[in-house]
Chains A and B, each alone.
Chain A
Amino acid sequence: GAGVSQSPSNKVTEKGKDVELRCDPISGHTALYWYRQSLGQGLEFLIYFQGNSAPDKSGLPSDRFSAERTGGSVSTLTIQRTQQEDSAVYLCASSLGLRSTEAFFGQGTRLTVV
């Protein structure tokens, strides 16, 4: 597509429920990244993919967070048993490849856990 597309734009969920956030990268981009932006923490790295593999999961805050990418394209970030501290804007980015390539961001998914 023309840009990175994320869905949903907004998600309100009850504490303890699971949520799935979707990212559709720019066509042809092999690298895909997830970040989180919250008031107190700024922009934090979560995970990146090169193709379908995730060499660096170091930013995932707990084992309740997982992500996958299929077909070298769409990625899903899943948060299980959501907690109030998971409330944040989740941003996805893609780039042509890893290392020294420009990253482009989607509009984000605003997650609110009540």
Chain B
Amino acid sequence: GIQVEQSPPDLILQEGANSTLRCNFSDSVNNLQWFHQNPWGQLINLFYIPSGTKQNGRLSATTVATERYSLLYISSSQTTDSGVYFCAVENPPNYKLTFGKGTLLTVNP
């Protein structure tokens, strides 16, 4: 099956810093989503981005499907950005999402 690798596995930042999280995948995808798992375990949708670039406030994401990677940018990080960020992909002909192992982000005040 498709392999999804996220890097870095852990990231510690000072409040106000910028960061880039990466997601590499091993095959073509129909769907790619970025999630933030909050301290209560809820998966919060950040982006649905099978290709192209999107922005939402301090967050933006870019997927280059032909090169099989996606990037999540967090600017001016805040302590509330802490948590685990997951990338998940849907690889045809399967309809399930395959998740990476996540990036654990800690933002210190």
Contact = CB atoms under 8 A, between A and B. Distances in A.
A105 B99 contact: no
Interface in B37-61: 40-43, 45, 48, 50
Given A56-B95, A102-B48, A103-B97, A108 B30 contact: no
Interface residues of B, number: 23
Report the interface size class on chain A. Answer: 20 to 34
Contacts, number: 54
- A interface, over-half SS: strand
A31 interface: yes
A45 B101 contact: no
Contact of B95 (A31, A43, A89, A105): A31
Given A99-B30, A100-B31, A101-B31, A108 B99 contact: no
A91 interface: yes
